Amino acid sequence: MSQHPQIDQAVMQERRAYYDKIGTRKMTPLWEVLHALVIPQPKSACMPAIWHYADIRDDIMEAGRLITAKEAERRVLILENPGMPGQSRITTSLYAGLQLILPGEVAPAHRHTQSALRFIVEGDGAYTAVDGEKTIMHEGDFVITPSWTWHDHGNDSDRPMVWMDGLDIPLIQALDCSFMERLPEDSQPLSRPTGDALARYGSGLLPVDFEVKTPTSPVFNYPYCRTREALETMRRAEEWDPCHGLKLQYINPATGQSAMPTIGTFMQLLPKGFNGASYRSSDATVFSVVEGKGYTLVGEGETQQRFDWGKRDTFVIPSWVSHSHHAPDTDAVLFSYSDRPVQKALGLWRESRGNR
Ligand code: 1HN
C-alpha cells in the first residue's frame, strides 16, 4: 500500500491521461502488462478434463441421425476444453474431436495446411485415403494426415466407426497460415496399393534412393497390433519408468524425429498394480485409453482431482500440472499426444519429476 494516496491519485490520473493519449497513436505501456505477459511458470486457461465414452457415445450416434458425413463434410463432436469455451480446442495449441462415420458413408476429399492424426476408438474396417493410398483402420491404430495432403474417409464395413481427430488447428491459427481446398470428386484417385507405405517405409527399410522431402513420417498408419506387440515384448525387460510405466514415442523412420512435426504421439503400458510417481511437463497432453482401467491424480493438495478412466475415455492434462497414473486392477494402455515436438524444436520443452 502507498503512503501517499493523494499524490498517487494525481499521478494515476496523469498516467491514465497519458495512456489515452498514446493510445490514439496505437501505443500502450508495457509496464502495465509486463508481469501478465511474462510469468514465472505456465498458468494455463486450459483445465484438466475427462470425457467418459459411456456418457457421450449416445450423443455421437445421435449426430449420425441428424446429419450425414457428406453434408457435415466431417461429422465430428469437438472435445472442447471447459477452460476455453467457444475456442474449439482441447489444449491451448491443439484440437481434439470424435468423428463418426457410418456404414456406406463418405467424408469427401479435401486438404489443408493443418496436420491431423486419427486415433481409432471404436470399430474396425473403415478406411482413410491419404495422398493416393487407402488404409483400412482398426481400433488402436494411429493414422496421420500430413499437412496439405488430400484425404477422404469411407466406411465399407457394416459397423459405425469412431475415431479421435487430433489437429494443430490453434497453432496454425496463431501463425495465420491456414489454407484449405476441396476436390471436385468425393474420393481422390488412388495411385498405390493398400499397405504400400507401411511396407516401403515401416519395415526397418527405405527405398535405396529415398530422400526426405517433408518432415512428416512417410508411414501413415501405425497399426496397433505392431505397437502392442512392441510393448508386450519390451515389458519382459522389466524396465519400468516410475512415472510412465513403459512409454514409447511414434517416430518418422526416415528422420528419427517425431512422426508429425507439430504433434508428438505416444503409447504407454501401465502394468497391473502400477502406482505412478508424480510428473509434469510443459506440453499439455491429451490421453485416450486403449485398454484396461485405472485412474490419474491431477493437481496437488486441496484442488487435486481424481480421473477414473476406462477403455475409450479421453482426458487432458494442462501444461505444468502435476499428475500420476495408477492401474491397480488391470494392465492399462494409454495413447497420448501433445505439442512436444514444437516445444523441443524451439528449445522450450521442460519436464519435472516428483515435486521439483
Ligand atoms: C478435418 O479435415 C478432419 O479430415 C477432421 O477428418 C476434423 C477439424 C477441423 C478442420 C479439418 C478430417 C477436422 C478437419
pLDDT per residue over 204-216, tens digit each?
A: 999 999 999 999 9
Task: Annotate 90-124 with b (16+ C-beta within 10 A) or e (fewer).
Answer: bbbbbbbbbbbbbeebbbbbebbebbbbbbbbbbe
On whether both 262 and 236 belong to a single domain, the answer is yes
Q: Does 165 reside within a domain? A: yes
**Residue at 18 is within a domain:** yes
Residue 27, CA atoms < 13 Å, CB-side half-sphere: 7
Same domain, 121 and 12: no
Q: How far, in Å, from the CA of 344 to the mean position of ligand 1?
A: 26
- Domain co-membership, 130 together with 249: yes
pLDDT greater than 60 at residue 1: no
Phi-psi region of 273 (alpha: psi -120 to 50; beta: other; left: phi over 0): left
Check whether residue 88 and residue 221 sit in a common domain. yes
Q: CA gyration radius for the chain?
A: 23
Residue 30 lies in a domain: yes
Q: Is 336 exposed, middle or buried (0-12, 13-18, 19+ CB in 10 A)?
A: buried
Phi, psi of 145 (to 5 degrees): -115, 100
> Average pLDDT for residues 331-345, to the nearest whole number?
98
Q: Is residue 299 part of a domain?
A: yes
Task: Supply the pLDDT for residue 30.
Answer: 98
Burial bucket for residue 189 (CB in 10 Å: 0-12, 13-18, 19+): exposed
* pLDDT value for 181: 98
**Same domain membership, residue 293 and residue 211:** yes
Query: Does one domain contain both 16 and 137?
Result: no
Looking at the structure, do residues 121 and 251 belong to the same domain, yes or no? yes
Based on the domain organization, do 30 and 143 belong to the same domain? no
Contacts of 27 (CB under 8 A, 6+ apart): none
132 shares a domain with 12: no
Confidence of residue 356 (pLDDT cuts 50, 70, 90): low
In a domain, 69, yes or no: yes
User: pLDDT digits over 86-107, tens only?
Assistant: 999 999 999 999 999 999 999 9
Range of the domain at 185: 49-354
CATH of the domain at 269: 2.60.120.10
**Cα of 340 to ligand 1 centre, how many Å?**
21
Q: Quick check: is 338 in a domain?
A: yes
pLDDT of res. 5: 67
In a domain, 43, yes or no: no
Ligand 1 neighbours by CB, cut-off 6 Å: 74, 76, 97, 99, 107, 112, 116, 151, 153, 165, 167, 169
Percent of the chain with pLDDT over 70: 98
Helix (H/G/I), strand (E/B), else coil: 107 = strand
Rounded to two decimals, the pTM is 0.96
- 330, three cell numbers: 488391470
Instruction: Work out the average pLDDT over 284-310.
Output: 98
Show the DSSP H helices in 202-276 as ranges.
Answer: 224-234
Question: What pLDDT score was predicted for residue 19?
Answer: 98
The model's confidence at residue 333, banded by pLDDT at 50, 70 and 90, is very high
Distance in angstroms (rounded) separating the CA atoms of residues 344 and 340: 6
Q: Are residues 91 and 125 in the same domain?
A: yes
Q: Is residue 44 part of a domain?
A: no
Total domains in the chain come to 2
- Judge whether 342 and 266 are in contact, CB under 8 Å: no
Pocket test for ligand 1, best of 76, 88, 179 (most atoms within 8 A of CB): 76
